[in-house]
């Protein structure tokens, strides 16, 4: 029996893009199959559009990053509820509530095969929560499902010469994302540097992939070869 933690970028829940209409159904099927194979799965869901929108509205009258972070956390819990209810509706043994801390999630994961949560406290993103949960639950790896194909040497949107990586060490990934600082509510990097720092200190392997293609999530969770970046622990 293996435990795997999956960080699901909130942008994956956008319903308006046609190809993603079936994404949630496919995701539920993947979790169902992994549970049938005896795995335990913890899913940590990002804030996506509601986080961005909420933080944008509030940022005109709120300066304190912690207060803006809390708006982001509320959005992650909304998205986690969408995923939790979809899994529960399918009959998958998912924990009944959305844990508020990594410690609570570890306890829930001992009782149920599947736990779904969002953010916890200000100062980091759900990538960091997922990596902390992976470390604390003895998971074999943490899968970061985001909306880019691979980790690049630089931001490919601003640097056309940025180089994609199939494989990296944790130290190399840390060099790319930089020091473990929370740059502000809603600011996004390929993987949260606060989380990468936790992975480095605990030698936690990471699979980073484009979760818009649910087939890549399936392959990574099944331990098969997938297109993305493998970060060795």
Please give the residue ranges that form the binding site for ligand UTP (CB under 6 A): 9-11, 46-48, 51, 69, 72-73, 76, 119-126, 129, 185-186, 188
What the block records as the tokens of 25 is 């159904």
Q: What's the CA dihedral at 39, 76, 104, 200 to 10 degrees?
A: 70
φ, ψ for residue 185, nearest 5 deg: -60, 130
How far apart are the C-alpha atoms of 205 and 139, rounded to whole Å? 10
Which lies closer to ligand UTP via its Cβ, residue 2 or residue 82? 82
Asked whether the beta carbons of 217 and 27 are under 8 A apart, the reply is yes
How far apart are the C-alpha atoms of 204 and 145, rounded to whole Å? 16
Which lies closer to ligand UTP via its Cβ, residue 172 or residue 188? 188
Which lies closer to ligand UTP via its Cβ, residue 35 or residue 47? 47
Q: Which residue in the shown chain puts its C-beta closest to ligand UTP?
A: 72
Least Å distance, CB 9 to ligand UTP, is 4
Least Å distance, CB 52 to ligand UTP, is 8
Which lies closer to ligand UTP via its Cβ, residue 122 or residue 233? 122
Least Å distance, CB 37 to ligand UTP, is 28
Least Å distance, CB 198 to ligand UTP, is 12
Which lies closer to ligand UTP via its Cβ, residue 32 or residue 100? 100
Residue 183: partners with Cβ closer than 8 Å, 6 or more residues away: 189
Q: What residues pair up with 45 in beta bridges, in sequence order?
A: 8
Instruction: Give 22-43 as a DSSP string.
Output: THHHHHHHHHHHHHHTT-EEEE
Tell me the torsion sign for CA atoms 111, 223, 173, 210.
Answer: negative
Which lies closer to ligand UTP via its Cβ, residue 120 or residue 214? 120
**DSSP SS3 for 115:** strand
Least Å distance, CB 122 to ligand UTP, is 4
Least Å distance, CB 79 to ligand UTP, is 8
């Amino acid at each position: 029996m293996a435990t795997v933690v999956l960080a699901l970028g909130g942008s994956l829940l956008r319903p308006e893009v046609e190809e993603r209409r079936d994404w949630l159904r496919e995701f539920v099927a993947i979790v169902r199959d992994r549970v049938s194979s005896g795995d335990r799965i913890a899913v940590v869901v990002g804030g996506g559009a509601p986080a961005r929108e909420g933080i944008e509205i509030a940022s005109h009258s709120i300066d304190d990053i912690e207060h803006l972070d809390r708006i982001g956390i509320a959005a992650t819990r909304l998205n986690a509820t969408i995923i939790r209810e979809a899994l529960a509706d399918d009959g998958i043994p998912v924990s009944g509530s959305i844990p508020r801390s990594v410690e609570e999630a570890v306890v829930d994961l001992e009782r149920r095969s599947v736990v779904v949560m969002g953010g916890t406290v200000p100062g980091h993103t759900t990538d960091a929560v997922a990596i902390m949960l992976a470390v604390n639950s003895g998971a074999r790896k943490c899968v970061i499902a985001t909306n880019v194909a691979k980790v690049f040497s630089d931001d490919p949107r601003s640097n056309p010469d940025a180089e994609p990586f199939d494989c990296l060490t944790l130290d190399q990934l840390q060099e790319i994302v930089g020091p473990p600082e929370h740059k502000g509510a809603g600011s996004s990097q390929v993987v949260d540097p606060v989380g990468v720092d936790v992975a480095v200190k605990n030698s936690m392997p990471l699979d980073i992939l484009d979760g818009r293609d649910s087939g890549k999530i399936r392959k990574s969770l099944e331990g098969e070869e997938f297109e993305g970046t493998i970060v060795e622990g």
